[in-house]
Chain A
Amino acid sequence: MQRFARVEGLLVEPIGHLWAAFSPATGETALLNDESASILEVLEIEPADTAAVCAVLSSDSGIAPDELFALVDGSWQQLTEVGLVRELHVSRNHPQ
């Protein structure tokens, strides 16, 4: 299962009803909605895969993890592209 981590040094601050996230990896800032910011908050605890993130967000939103799975799983590409998260590549000899 793919696991994801926050990019080191990521800064996330609320701006009105949105969130601004500055990525040192890209030097750019992105605007996030609550859902994206929540995913980053979950990853702040520790790197996680889609199922683990959904389990946490399920308790916050009251929605079943299965219903969240497609939305969260579909967000990784965008969050990675804007430099907010990175995928952890698991090594057989040195699992992360």
Chain B
Amino acid sequence: MNKNLQDPTAHTSARRRLVRGAFAAPAALALYSGSAFAATSLSCVAKEVRNPTYPAVITNLSPSDTYLRVRLHTLAGRSTTSAWIKGSDITALQLAGTPSPYITSSQWQCFSVGLSKVKIDTEIVTPMAGTIYNGQPSRISNGALPRQDGSYVAIRIDISGKIVGVVGVGISTPSTSAVHQSCWTSFKPSP
């Protein structure tokens, strides 16, 4: 019999491993599972999607809300104003590792119709709420560009983390919700 083989059934004893003449302070270090934190974050997102929150547009300059939001850009006429969402404002909020947002950096989305006609680059169009345009809108009469007036709108996100729109327009995808900043913070994994 090969004596070098260890008996696989032999029980390792901590007491046998104690060094004679030395005894350190007993120590126990609890290990915490990361799945617990992940479960918390996922349940947070699931809760947001299950009970969607649809806040109104926020118009104060120093809001105390906690929604993940983007500014609205307005294009004012004589008596009417249209509101637009800048694509780069949305893409700036994309979380690493999540699908690309519903809009690209160079695109603009009409949020509310006020002006019957606007110019997109060189083309004159009739804006429709929710429609995405490949360029920046401007006034036909004087070429004025959209400007920020302090209004915000909350973004919507689906369960995969993709930004699928903003609250108020183009809600065609079910099971999406405006996401609170607190939820997004817990959802975001550490780098």
**Chain A residues engaging chain B, CB cutoff 8 angstroms:** 12, 14, 19, 21, 26, 28-42, 56-57, 60-63, 67-68, 71-72, 74-75, 78-79, 81-82, 84
Interface of A is mostly: helix
Interface of B is mostly: loop
Q: Assess whether B28 is in contact with A63, with CB atoms less than 8 Å apart.
A: no
Which of B20, B27, B29, B33 sits near A61, CB closer than 8 Å?
Answer: B20
Count contacts on B: residues with CB < 8 A to the other chain. Answer: 22
Q: How far in angstroms is the closest Cβ of chain A from B180?
A: 29
Contact pattern, B 15-34, Cβ under 8 Å of A = 1, otherwise 0: 11111111111111111110
Q: Assess whether B32 is in contact with A31, with CB atoms less than 8 Å apart.
A: no
Which of B13, B26, B29 sits near A35, CB closer than 8 Å?
Answer: B26
Is residue B12 within 8 Å, beta carbon to beta carbon, of the partner chain? Answer: yes
Q: Assess whether B31 is in contact with A61, with CB atoms less than 8 Å apart.
A: no
- The answer to whether residues A57 and B31 also contact, given A39-B26, A62-B21 and a CB cut-off of 8 A, is no
Is residue B92 within 8 Å, beta carbon to beta carbon, of the partner chain? Answer: no
Question: Complex: how many Å from CA A61 to CA B20?
Answer: 4
Which of B13, B19, B31 sits near A30, CB closer than 8 Å?
Answer: B31
Question: Complex: how many Å from CA A82 to CA B30?
Answer: 6
Q: Assess whether A14 is in contact with B12, with CB atoms less than 8 Å apart.
A: yes
Interface residues of B in 48-99 (CB under 8 A from A): none
Which B residues are CB-close (under 8 A) to A56? 15
Question: Complex: how many Å from CA A71 to CA B24?
Answer: 8
Q: Assess whether B26 is in contact with A61, with CB atoms less than 8 Å apart.
A: no
Q: How far in angstroms is the closest Cβ of chain A from B6?
A: 13
Q: Assess whether B28 is in contact with A78, with CB atoms less than 8 Å apart.
A: yes
